[in-house]
A = this chain, B = another copy of it.
């Protein structure tokens, strides 16, 4: 008799209740980057612990110097059974600008976008509460059907992923013995498209820096001082404008150290996916790639490093006009890293680049925000083939090997601190609007994602 079929059937039967559970989690405003929501973040952790206990996990909220971790363990069929660590994060991005949301970001619902296509709306529905609950629900169904789980399973749910994961490294170091498993399952990734499952084998790294340019010791009247006094917005604009050349390349000396060309066979397989600048950028109302000239959008977002400006502010930004020369202006700048780029070296090179452009009577402050190298997973790992087959069975379409433009620092940390490889499988779509207003998650992803994880569990423990 099939081990997996009754689990899949149970997942189907559980769907409505599993949605209710996800909604309860989505209603909690666990925005980690804004201290105002500190108590909400903890509430989400406590909610997860309570839910995991109902499945039989030994689960607890673990304090850190920042937001807490959730750690949960479940025994396997035997002490020699494979040990898997599943990672997700229960914190979410801020929701501003709130006025652009069609629905309350913290009052989730199922909406029918078009006949037969339903989505779950709300902040965190895709990134990452929805993805995280897939695995929890797969475990729940398995336990209900078989009274046990097929592997020793440890869950690690983080509450600081959207704010640079300051506590993650120390926590992994301090609890390495507890958390070390045969390998990790990481769910914070996406499908190729709504019908095609994917496994991610490459992830870009990230360096974040906030810079504050300071000029006069007070705000000045531009009539009185304009033409004589340094303007920090002008200095900042020059710094930012200098970072890219006419061909979209980053000009910071040493920035491309450690960047190798992607193998041609990989590029060819990506070209075979049929994505074009028009199809990729057309989703968001654009058409012209803004990165390095002569490369495809998939190469640009999956395998090339970038410098992005994530925020800028200075001077008078209210209604109307104020003829002021501000005393300071600031920008949030981030770099996506690939291959062997060193985050510390990139940060140092950027700071030198900025300092060289600050007039002698002005100053600049730097505030670091996270740093992680890129990850390149091997194409021939033993569990990759099994997972690929399990996904292909569920979706009735071959799973594809892709890369990801975003960073998932935990994958590098698992490698560094726990000596553990990761399998990256997720069911997000590129139009899920993660980090933006009107985030959603496909109901199909939520349903077939649970079934996919059950199949992967079965394949890995067969």
Contact = CB atoms under 8 A, between A and B. Distances in A.
A189 to B, nearest CB: 11
Q: Which of A237, A316, A407, A434 has the most CB of B within 10 A?
A: A237
B311 A315 contact: yes
Interface residue range, chain A: 35 or more
A362 B287 CA distance: 9
A362 to B, nearest CB: 8
B244 A241 contact: no
Q: Which of A94, A292, A360 counts the most B-chain CB atoms under 10 A from its CB?
A: A94
B280 A228 contact: yes
Interface string A222-253: 11111111110110111011101000000000
Contact of A290 (B210, B314, B359, B433): B359
Nearest to A217: B285
Contact of A224 (B163, B331, B405, B438): B405
Contacts of A319: 33-35
Contacts of A288: 230, 359-361
Among A288, A300, A320, A437: residue with most chain B CB under 10 A: A320
A164 interface: yes
A407 to B, nearest CB: 6
Interface stretch (A179-187, A322-330, A392-400): A322-330
Interface stretch (A11-19, A74-82, A301-309): A301-309
Nearest to A240: B237
Contact of A322 (B215, B362, B435): B435
Contact of A311 (B306, B324, B360): B324
Given A223-B406, A226-B301, A237-B312, 6 more contacts: A218-B284, A219-B436, A228-B281, A228-B291, A231-B308, A312-B317
Interface string A359-395: 1111000000110000000000000000000000000
Contacts of A311: 233, 314-317, 322, 324, 326
Determine how many copies of this chain the complex contains: 2
Contacts of A313: 312-314, 317
A434 to B, nearest CB: 5
A415 interface: no
B33 A309 contact: no
Nearest to A164: B321
29 contacts: A33-B319, A33-B322, A94-B318, A164-B321, A206-B323, A216-B284, A216-B286, A217-B285, A218-B437, A219-B435, A219-B436, A222-B334, A223-B405, A225-B284, A225-B405, A227-B304, A228-B289, A228-B301, A234-B240, A234-B241, A234-B290, A237-B312, A287-B361, A308-B325, A310-B316, A310-B323, A312-B312, A320-B369, A324-B435
B306 A227 contact: yes
A74 B325 CA distance: 40
Contacts of A291: 227-228
A347 to B, nearest CB: 14
Contact of A227 (B34, B300, B322, B361): B300
B204 A223 contact: yes
B224 A436 contact: no
Contacts of A314: 309, 311-313
Nearest to A406: B223
A325 B312 contact: no
A434 B280 CA distance: 50
B240 A242 contact: no
A443 interface: no
Contact of A297 (B208, B222, B228): B228
A169 interface: no
B290 A310 contact: no
Nearest to A285: B217
A228 B290 contact: yes
A93 interface: yes
A229 B281 contact: yes
A221 B406 contact: yes
Question: What are the 6 A-B residue pairs with the smallest beta carbon separation, nearest first?
Answer: A223-B406, A241-B241, A33-B320, A217-B285, A311-B315, A237-B240
Contacts of A315: 309-312, 332
Contact of A334 (B242, B304, B321, B331): B321
A439 B33 CA distance: 35
A164 B319 CA distance: 12
